[in-house]
């Protein structure tokens, strides 16, 4: 592992962060070097510090520790992510024999120079008690493979030599800070300290020295592992190879809706009574092969490589052999057994630290033999973080196993971390958005209404699968929504059954399944009945009615696999109740679709699925995402009424009872309301038309 220190980049960082002072600027620079390597730290893990001085209001120079603040990630930290704490206050605390966590947090917060700064790292005292200007702490994979062993010191000593100290597992916070300081005082010539089953501390007089000591020690660890394993692949290799890539995809499509449904948690007040989860999967060859190894099941049932990970992934992973994930019944049974295991762990190990609260007993990470891994979390970010951590974890566990025997923290030690208030604080207290964990599938998503629906559903926390036959317009909508990983766009013609099936399969691969289905694709044809072209008429029925039936069929299949209910919101039309002349194909096909939705309400109720409809009218959209329907019928209407485009909009607004224009977002609000399932309503029609007496539902 080469050092990535670069003099030019270091100088550039000093220039960029000049206002924070050179020491802090260099601290930012090397923190980012550490954070940029996911084999050293992952997603907010690790912490760094620098000791420097700050001028107080009276012009005195005050010695401070600038230490990573909570909520910052080393990979993109900035000077405000290193809040300054008075060093003398922290150092004095070392004289205490004991310090309660609340008192420690309070004392450290009280010593902040800026009272509004984020909470300094829970390791702030450890950083303060060491004398060096720079201190770097990582959870490097190679170090963990050496220490997560029956004897944590044996391989570390052989790999790193006598330059380092090795401390046993000690609970982070004050006890660890004291232990590290005492150990250092006894061996001030050491260049680093390995914390068994936790990670590595290095230190130095300048930024480069401290950083490069981390790199040097991790490099020694890596070389040692390579020597010991004789160049064998890092991952466990099974006799059977992983499934071919396309088979892995089919497996995900089959297994994830079942798994996702089984991992949803019954929760009062959540849509349909379920806190659902979305998935993030990793299916590279190594991970796919991991699950086929004879020890895979056992390694999945062992605690994390470093305790920090427990709040993201839980202690154990769910293991599904091929015959398990192929069978919905077996998958559900194994999830139930996992829950029982977690309850047992809570009773035996966690209850004494957290008598009143048990976290969700559902698995967060599942290993699917031959396929890879899937992480499940109410937010796509949480799922992605858990999947990243799990991918690294399996590699480290495999290496540790190959070196000797993987031995992690005990359940009691892990429970103390999992339920440690200072650790749980890292997850934040923000309530989940209303539709967190829900996956919505919107057809006709490139149109104005489809875009408005997706916009509102995304704002409420849902993930969205957008599909449309028009690739160009779909790209425009995707860019406009800008929701990154929470949007998956799939070009498809909904009149083609195979393509609809493919969209639902894509939804399963992207997010694990579907909960909110919005059949919205629609076309129109303007013609009097006398002159109607039969093919054009059939084409409108094909898109507006038959495709709705096909979408309902596919939705039912997924709902049945998930067993957590769901919701369908059909975009019907004001024309269903108030039809227009020369508009028979559209009005009749939408009326048929509405009737289809009502029948689906009858048939899907036993699955807990609600089916409702929205009747919108005169939704024009805007210049970027215009309504395709109005692009088609607008000129005809303008001509018939002798109006231009703006006059036509005014006309439609003024003819409604509420004298209000209807926007795509209004339709989105209606869909989001149905998706939230706040009332036991199915088979209903909600007009979003400004109030048109002739279109009142009946
Ligand atoms: Zn740590």
Q: Give yes or no for a contact between 324 and 255, defined as CB atoms under 8 angstroms apart.
A: no
More confident residue, 424 or 475: 475
CA of 64 to the centre of ligand 1 (A): 22
Q: Lowest-pLDDT range, 152-156, 229-233, 502-506?
A: 229-233
| pLDDT at position 304 | 95
Helical axes 534-541 vs 584-604, angle rounded to 10°: 30
Which residues are paired to 367 by β-bridges? 319, 373
Q: What's the 123 CA to ligand 1 centre distance in angstroms? A: 8
Is the confidence at residue 4, as pLDDT, over 80? Answer: yes
Would you give the distance in Å from CA 517 to the centre of its chain?
21
Closest CA to 45 of 303, 308, 305, 307: 308
**What pLDDT shows up at residue 633?**
79
Long-range contacts of the stretch 52-59 (C-beta < 8 A, 24+):
52/21, 52/23, 52/24, 52/84, 52/133, 54/84, 54/113, 56/113
Q: What is the CA radius of gyration of the chain?
A: 30
Distance CA 108, CA 257 (A): 46
Q: What is the mean pLDDT of residues 353-373?
A: 94
Q: What is the pLDDT of residue 293?
A: 87
Q: How far apart are CA 467 and CA 378, in angstroms?
A: 23
Conformation bin of residue 512: beta by default, left when phi > 0, alpha when psi is -120 to 50: left
Distance 635 CA to ligand 1 centre (A): 66
Compute, in angstroms, the gap from residue 412 CA to the centroid of ligand 1. 18
Residue 427 host element (H or E): none
Name the catalytic one among 317, 419, 586, 652. 586
**Span from the CA of 40 to the centroid of ligand 1 (angstroms):** 11
- What's the gap in Å between 139 CA and the centre of ligand 1? 6
Distance 161 CA to ligand 1 centre (A): 22
Rounded Cα distance, 488 and 380, in Å: 12
Of 235 and 256, more confident: 256
Confidence of residue 546 (pLDDT cuts 50, 70, 90): very high
pLDDT of 493 above 70:
yes
Given a contact cutoff of 8 angstroms between Cβ atoms, the answer to whether 174 and 97 are in contact is no
The 10s digit of each residue's pLDDT in 531-542 is 999 999 999 999
Strand-pairing partners, residue 685, are 613
pLDDT over 60 at 238, yes or no:
no
CB of 497 within 8 A of CB of 474? no
| CA 47 – ligand 1 centroid, Å | 7
406 is catalytic: no
**Could you report the per-residue pLDDT of 41-81, keeping only the tens digit for each?**
988 889 999 999 999 888 999 999 999 998 899 999 999 99
pLDDT at 235: 62
Distance 12 CA to ligand 1 centre (A): 29
State the pLDDT confidence band at 523, using cuts at 50, 70 and 90: very high
Token readout for 451 is: 């875009």
């Amino acid at each position: 592992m080469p050092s990535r220190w670069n003099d030019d980049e270091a100088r550039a960082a000093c220039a960029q962060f000049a206002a924070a002072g050179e020491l802090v600027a260099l601290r930012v620079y090397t923190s980012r070097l550490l954070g940029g390597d996911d084999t050293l730290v992952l997603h907010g893990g690790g912490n760094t510090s620098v000791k420097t001085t700050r001028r107080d209001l009276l012009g005195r120079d005050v010695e401070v520790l600038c230490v990573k603040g909570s909520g910052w990630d080393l990979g993109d930290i900035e000077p405000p992510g290193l809040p300054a704490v008075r060093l003398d206050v922290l150092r004095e605390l070392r004289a205490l024999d004991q310090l309660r966590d609340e008192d420690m947090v309070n004392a450290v917060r009280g010593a902040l120079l800026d009272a509004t700064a984020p909470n300094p790292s829970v390791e702030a005292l450890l950083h303060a008690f060491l004398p060096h200007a720079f201190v770097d702490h990582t959870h490097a994979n190679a170090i963990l493979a050496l220490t997560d062993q029956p004897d944590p010191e044996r391989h570390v000593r052989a790999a790193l030599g006598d330059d380092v100290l090795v401390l046993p597992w000690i609970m982070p916070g004050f006890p660890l800070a004291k232990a590290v300081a005492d150990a250092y005082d006894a061996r001030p010539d050491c260049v680093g300290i390995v914390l068994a089953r936790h990670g590595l501390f290095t230190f130095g007089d300048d930024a480069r020295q401290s950083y490069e000591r981390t790199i040097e020690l991790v490099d020694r660890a890596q070389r040692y592992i390579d020597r010991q394993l004789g160049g064998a692949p890092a991952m466990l290799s099974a006799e059977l190879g992983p499934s071919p890539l396309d088979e892995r995809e089919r497996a995900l499509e089959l297994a994830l809706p079942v798994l996702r449904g089984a991992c949803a948690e019954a929760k009062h007040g959540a849509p349909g009574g379920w806190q659902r989860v979305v998935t993030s999967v990793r299916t590279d060859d190594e991970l796919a092969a991991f699950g086929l190894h004879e020890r895979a099941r056992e390694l999945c049932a062992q605690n994390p490589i470093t305790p920090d990970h427990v709040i993201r992934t839980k202690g154990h992973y769910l293991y599904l052999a091929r015959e398990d994930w192929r069978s919905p019944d077996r998958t559900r049974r194994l999830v139930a057994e996992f829950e029982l295991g977690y309850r047992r762990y809570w009773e035996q190990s966690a209850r004494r630290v957290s008598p009143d609260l048990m976290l969700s007993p559902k698995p967060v990470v599942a290993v699917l033999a031959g396929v890879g891994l899937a992480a499940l979390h109410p937010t796509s970010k949480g799922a992605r973080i858990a999947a990243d951590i799990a991918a690294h974890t399996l590699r480290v566990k495999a290496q540790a196993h190959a070196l000797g025997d993987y031995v992690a923290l005990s359940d009691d030690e892990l429970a103390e971390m999992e339920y440690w208030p200072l650790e749980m604080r890292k997850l934040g207290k923000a309530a989940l958005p209303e539709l967190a964990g829900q996956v919505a599938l919107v057809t006709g998503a490139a149109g104005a209404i489809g875009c408005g629906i997706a916009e509102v559903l995304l704002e409420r926390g849902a993930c969205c699968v957008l599909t449309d036959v028009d690739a160009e317009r779909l790209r425009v909508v995707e860019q406009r929504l800008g929701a990154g990983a929470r949007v998956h766009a799939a070009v498809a013609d909904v009149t083609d059954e195979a393509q609809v099936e493919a969209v639902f399969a894509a939804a399963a691969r992207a997010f694990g399944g579907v909960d909110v289905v919005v059949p919205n694709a629609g076309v129109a044809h303007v013609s009097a009945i006398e002159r109607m072209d039969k093919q054009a008429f059939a084409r409108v029925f094909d898109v507006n009615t038959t495709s709705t039936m096909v979408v309902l069929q596919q939705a039912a299949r997924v709902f049945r696999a998930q067993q957590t209910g769901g919701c369908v919101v059909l975009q019907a039309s004001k024309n269903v109740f108030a039809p227009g002349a020369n508009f028979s194909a559209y009005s009749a096909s939408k009326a048929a679709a509405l009737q289809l939705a009502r029948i689906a309400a009858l048939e899907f109720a036993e699955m807990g699925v609600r089916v409702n409809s929205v009747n919108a009218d005169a939704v024009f959209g805007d210049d970027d995402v215009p309504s395709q329907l109005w692009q088609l019928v607008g000129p005809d209407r303008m001509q018939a009424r002798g109006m231009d485009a703006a006059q036509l909009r005014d006309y439609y607004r003024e003819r409604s009872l509420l004298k209000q224009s209807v926007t795509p977002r209004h339709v989105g609000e209606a869909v989001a309301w149905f998706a939230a399932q706040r009332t036991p309503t199915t088979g209903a029609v909600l007009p979003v038309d400004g109030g048109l007496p002739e279109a009142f539902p009946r």
